[in-house]
Structure formats: C-alpha cells, structure tokens
Amino acid sequence: MVLTRLRLGLLERDLAFRFGVSVSTVSRTFMKWINYMYLRLGSLPIWPSWDDVASSRPQCFRDTYPTTYMIIDCTELRVEVPASLSLQTQCYSQYKSHTTQKCLIAISANGCIIFASDLYTGSISDRAVVLDSGILPLLKSVPTSKSVMADRGFEIQDLLVPYGLLLNIPPFRGKDGTLPEQAVKETQQVARVRIHVERVIGQLKRSFRVLQGVMPVSLFGSVNQTWLVCCMLVNFKGPVINEENQVQCLRILLHICR
C-alpha cells in the first residue's frame, strides 16, 4: 500500500477503495510504514569515500573535472496552499509561482544520491539550505583539494574553504551583461556534467508520482519521511549517467551500505 502510494501518488480515498479498507486505516498504515522505512533506510551509510567516487566516476568527469566529489542542487515540491497567511508567504516560491517546499540533494560523480536534506519553505535561499541541512560537517571526510559542483545560485565558496574544498560553478556575467568567449566555453563544459544532477532529480520524480503533483495536506505530517524514502529507493534503480558503470556503482552502493 505504501509503495503503491509513493509510486502512483494515489489519494487515501482511492487506496481505501482499491484495498477494501477504510480511509483511516490507509492513513494509519501509511504513517506507520513510512516512518519505519524512514528510520531503516535513513540509517544506511550512503556517504561514500573518495576512493569509491573516484573508482566509479564516468569518463566525462575523468576528462574534465577529475576532482569532483559531488554535485549539489535544490529542487522544489509543490504543496497545497496552507491556511496560515504567514506560512503562505514563507512557502511561496517566485521561481515556481506556487507554494512549495525546497530540498537539497547531492549526487556523487557516478550519479548515486549521497545526501538528501529535509524540506524547507519555498522562499528560502539555496545558501541557507546548505547551511542548515547538515551537509557541511560531512565534508570533513573528503580529502582537501577536491571540489563540489553546483549552479550559479550556490555562492558557498566561503563555506567550503574551512574544509579545503573548491567550488565549480559556471562563470558570472560581466558588468556589461555578457560572457567572454572563454567563459562561454567554461559554462558549457560545466553544464555538460552538472546536468546529471538534474537527470537524477528527474528520474526521482518520474519514479515516484507522489513527488510530481501538488502534495496534499494529508501528507504534510510525513513529507520529510516520504521525500527521504523516495531518494533512498531510487538509488536501487542504478545510476543514470552511464549504463556501463551501473553494475560497478551498484556494487559500491551495496558495499558502503554494509
């Protein structure tokens, strides 16, 4: 029942009809099992070592950005408009023109999700999410001189300096609003590999329709659990970057989860 709801995004009344139970039974069962899966899957050690990342990264990273440890990005999930006016303001996203909840996701160079934050109100900045998510202390285990790749909105170089890490982001436009030729080439080069985090997010939302539409109020009490469980389950589908590396990446995922 729980997996059906995650996969198809069905409402409680629909599930009650399909399984021949009451709506309250569906609600109780979902809450019980999503919390159990959250605790079990959330305890898996998915944060890889540098050796794991280096041995499974695809050729596109080996050729252009060999020091990349992870790629980070934020995504937003649309939610029903809260009754509280203050919450409406906090959850409203200018980017989506809707009330949303924002979350940080990090993938390794091989395309596996290695970190997923809790959900925050849609108006929060990317930098604030990074600061509050708990990902920074995890960087202590990453060797110095390695790098983190992100979009322009992640102005977090100063946050990485204490860990001896670099930030790879596309160049900013000059004062005249244009990019020099070299900067254009660099932007295209970063985009070719950074797009993989968007592909992973796309795979995640396509795999679990509960994340696609407007999340109903009935899920607000378990939205963080639902998000993390979906992120963990999608890892077992294998990475999206390079099919020839899928077997090797899955072996590494199983190895670090032992």
The letter for the amino acid at 73 is D
- Separation CA 101–CA 123 (nearest Å): 8
Would you give the distance in Å from CA 209 to the centre of its chain?
16
**What count of residues does the chain have?**
258
HEC letters along 47-116:
CCCHHHHHHHCCHHHHHHCCCEEEEEEEEEEEECCCCCHHHHHHHEECCCCEEEEEEEEEEECCCCEEEE
- Separation CA 9–CA 174 (nearest Å): 45
**Residue 142 in tokens:** 């990453």
| Per-residue pLDDT in tens (0 to 9) along the chain, 258 residues | 999 999 998 888 999 999 999 999 999 999 999 999 999 998 888 899 999 888 888 887 888 888 999 999 999 999 888 888 888 888 888 888 889 999 999 998 888 899 999 999 888 999 999 999 999 999 999 999 999 999 888 889 999 999 999 998 876 665 566 666 666 777 777 777 888 888 889 989 999 999 988 888 777 788 899 999 999 999 888 666 654 444 454 454 455 444
Query: What is the per-residue pLDDT for 39?
Result: 93
Choose among 199, 203, 212: nearest CA to 8.
Answer: 212
